[in-house]
Amino acid sequence: MTTTTAKPSDGLQQGQKKRSRDASSLSSKPQERQRKKQKSISEIPTEQKQDQPAKTAELSDINPAWAKLAPTSTAARFTERLAKTHTSLSTIELDDLDLPVQSIQDTSSFAPQRTLPSLPEFLEQNTPNGSVELKESSSEQGCPHTLILSLSAIRSMHVKRAVDKYGTSESKIAKLFSKHIKYDEAVSYLEKTRVGIGVGTAGRIEELIVGKDGKKGVLKLEALKRVILDVSYLDEKKRGLIEDIPAFKALVTLLNVEELKLRFAKGETKILFF
């Protein structure tokens, strides 16, 4: 009888094949898990994938601290910020820069979150004749009834788009910021244009009121009824109109322009914190 003896090499080959199959099985498992993960993600409705991050980003860009404050508390918080950013001034000098409580309009009853989509509603609720009045303008060129002050030129552009609906052929929405708009261009525009709402930065608006380089200011305040401070917005670095020191100092300088301070004292112009 003939006996077949297994060669050592046969056993080695079989072991190698088994290990190869095991390795192949192990390497395929992560791939399968990845495919399942991708499938589960792809099954999420497109609207859900797009909306969720947007909501998170929107909430992170809002500072709700000012929204529910009464005028007295608003003035007190503004004073605290003054003391922290103007450390070289004396107590008497700081007092002179304070916002008079009577100049602040109470907007604490406004319920919606203070984002750009709610800005038109905010304006209409805090304007006696609502949208009708917001679409009007003085017969004088460069004489707005409303000024909206924002952190930066980029933010101001977004704000302008939100209120463009109030612009008409006889009541323009003016861009009052320095980015891409030279001072002389802004002066020329205001000299020949009837403006209802002006949107911009404090530094540029202050220049247009008091003048620059020996030139007289062209932004008139005779019809100004409200100054909106866009304080709820925060940029990607969590800085807002109040938090950003250069922007805040420019704001303080503007609010203390003599002609504007006189209008605040007489109750002719109100400050609204948005």
By three-state DSSP, how is residue 183 classified?
helix
> What average pLDDT values come out for the chain (274 residues) when binned by 10 residues?
48 50 49 48 37 38 89 96 95 93 97 96 98 98 99 97 98 94 96 99 98 92 98 95 97 97 97 98
Distance CA 110, CA 273 (A): 11
Query: Residue 97: its pLDDT value, please?
Result: 95
Global confidence as pTM: 0.78
Evaluate the CA torsion angle 89, 92, 97, 100 in order and state its sign: positive
Q: Which two tokens stand for residue 203?
A: 């530094």
Query: Residue 61: its pLDDT value, please?
Result: 79
Q: Please, how many CA atoms are within 13 Å of residue 17, restricted to the half-sphere of its CB?
A: 6
- Residue 64 phi, psi (nearest 5): -80, 0
Type of residue at 178: S
Query: Residue 14: its pLDDT value, please?
Result: 52
Determine the distance from the C-alpha atom of residue 154 to the mean position of all C-alpha atoms in its chain, rounded to a whole number. 9
